[in-house]
Amino acid sequence: DKAGHKHFMAKEIAEQPVVLGDALRHYLSDDGRNIALDDPKLDFASLDRLTLVACGTAYYACLTAKYWFEQVANLPVDVDIASEFRYREPPVPPRTAALFVSQSGETADTLAALRYCNGRAERLLSIVNANESSIARESDLALPIYAGTEIGVASTKAFTCQLVVLLLLALKAARDRGAMTEDQLADKLSAVRSLPALMNLTLERGEEFRRASNHLAEADHALFLGRGMLYPLALEGALKLKEISYIHAEGYASGELKHGPIALIDQQMPVVVMAPRDALFDKTVSNMQEVMARGGKVLLVTDRGGAEEADDGVWWQLIVPDCDPLVAPILYALPAQLLAYHTAVAKGTDVDQPRNLAKSVTVE
């Protein structure tokens, strides 16, 4: 049942404020001021390292989480693509927990990576949507994301719910490791609790995303740029666009622009920049100027402050509500999804069942 939407993907994008709120209710105390994750298997004080392993969109959630764990909890994190990890057979140092992220819980490579870590890692953790799945069963502790059934092949609500569980884990790690004061933690939790409302405000601007997407739909290639915590989201934005609209898209860390991809810039290739006005915004402004100086068209997704500061030459601006920089990757996931969705609709592709793709990849 698409609940009045044209596609399951549209329904699942729209559901995010509600399902993310569900996840928060499960993982926060009743007053919302504490993280309710008191399982002894989740004591980050006794760990020296975390290894995150996944595929596709779930892998991008892991890449984002690396920034969170390292910044707020001072915990070193390795992130790996499951198909690489399992055959590389890397050493697993002592006091390492391995965490596997999978919507379906049945992805063959992620499951094989988990089995490789069995007996090597201190702890096998997973973040899943399917609680009865193989990955959930074979881990010491499986944390559900409470996203509800996801039918669209392109992951949307599972991604943001994975992100929020990862962020809460990072904040719990900060508490366990004494890396944050109680006041700082309360402040960050309040930023997390504000997400459903901020997502609703973003979704209300759907029409602006649709109009921008009508122009994106004319391109054969697109580049996505982001810095810091928004870099993994540039990768995710490019993946989403190519999966469902079949437009060739690549995501890059903004700072890598000069190291190659700038050679591609011309009027034919829009450059989508995801950049809230955070501590790195000035750097991103220079990247945008480099693109525009070469005739490139910049589509900037930013907040009000960013829009004021960005250069006049920006081709298209999409404004997202202000938020704490820590939660920006979760909020900015919606623009990435909406651009891909509306571009695919404009192109008339099969949004919910893109060619060649399966929802659950249970074979290599």
Is position 347 annotated as part of the catalytic site? no
Residue appearing with tokens 């559900």: 144
Candidates 100-108, 172-180, 227-235, 336-344 — which segment interacts with ligand F6R by CB under 6 A?
A: 100-108
Q: Is 102 in the site for ligand F6R (CB under 6 A)?
A: yes
Based on CB atoms, which residue is closest to ligand F6R, 162 or 284? 162
End-to-end Cα distance, the chain: 31
What's 354's DSSP letter?
-
Rg from Cα positions in the chain: 20
C-beta nearest to ligand F6R: residue: 56
Q: 3-state DSSP call for residue 234?
A: helix
Q: Report, in Å, the least distance between residue 138 CB and ligand F6R.
A: 14
329 contacts ligand F6R (rule: CB under 6 A): no
Question: Does 55 sit near ligand F6R (CB under 6 A)?
Answer: yes
Is residue 155 involved in binding ligand F6R (CB under 6 A)?
yes
Of 96, 107, 213, 343, the one binding ligand F6R by CB under 6 A? 107
Q: How many residues does the chain have?
A: 364
Residue among 20, 58, 63, 323 that touches ligand F6R (CB under 6 A): 58
**Residue found by looking up tokens 């959630």 in the block:** 61
Distance between CA atoms of residues 43 and 175, nearest Å: 10
Q: CB of 77 within 8 A of CB of 65?
A: yes
Residue numbers 280-299 binding ligand F6R by CB under 6 A: none
Of 110, 134, 139, 343, the one binding ligand F6R (CB under 6 A) is 110
Binders of ligand F6R in range 228-267 (CB under 6 A): 243
Scanning 103-111, 164-172, 224-232, 255-263 for contacts with ligand F6R by CB under 6 A, the matching segment is 103-111
Torsion of CA 319, 320, 323, 324, to 10 degrees: -80
**Of residues 289 and 360, the one with the C-beta less far from ligand F6R:** 360
123 and 98 Cβ atoms separated by less than 8 Å? yes
- Residue range at the interface with ligand F6R (CB under 6 A); choices 14-22, 102-110, 260-268, 340-348: 102-110
Q: How far apart are CA 188 and CA 219, in angstroms?
A: 39
Q: In what order do the strands lie in the sheet with 123-128?
A: 77-81, 49-54, 96-102, 123-128, 141-144
> How far apart are alpha carbons 90 and 113 in whole angstroms?
10
Phi first, then psi, for residue 164 (nearest 5°) are -70, -35
Name the residue among 61, 47, 12 with its Cα closest to residue 236.
61
State the maximum Cα–Cα separation within the chain, in Å, rounded to a whole number: 57
Decide whether 31 or 356 has the Cβ nearer to ligand F6R.
356
64 binds ligand F6R (CB under 6 A): no
Least distance in Å: CB of 179 to ligand F6R? Answer: 29
At its nearest, how many Å lie between ligand F6R and the CB of residue 294?
A: 31
The span of 38-46, 54-62, 264-272, 273-281 binding ligand F6R (CB under 6 A) equals 54-62
Of 51, 96, 104, 302, the residue at the interface with ligand F6R (CB under 6 A) is 104
Q: Please check whether residue 42 is in contact with residue 172, taking contact to mean a CB–CB distance below 8 angstroms.
A: yes
- Stretch of 25-33, 53-61, 178-186, 304-312 contacting ligand F6R, by CB under 6 A: 53-61
Measured from the CB of residue 188, what is the shortest distance to ligand F6R in angstroms?
26
Single-letter code of the amino acid located at 100 = F
- Interface positions with ligand F6R (CB under 6 A): 55-58, 102-104, 107, 110, 154-155, 243, 360-361
Known catalytic residues? 359
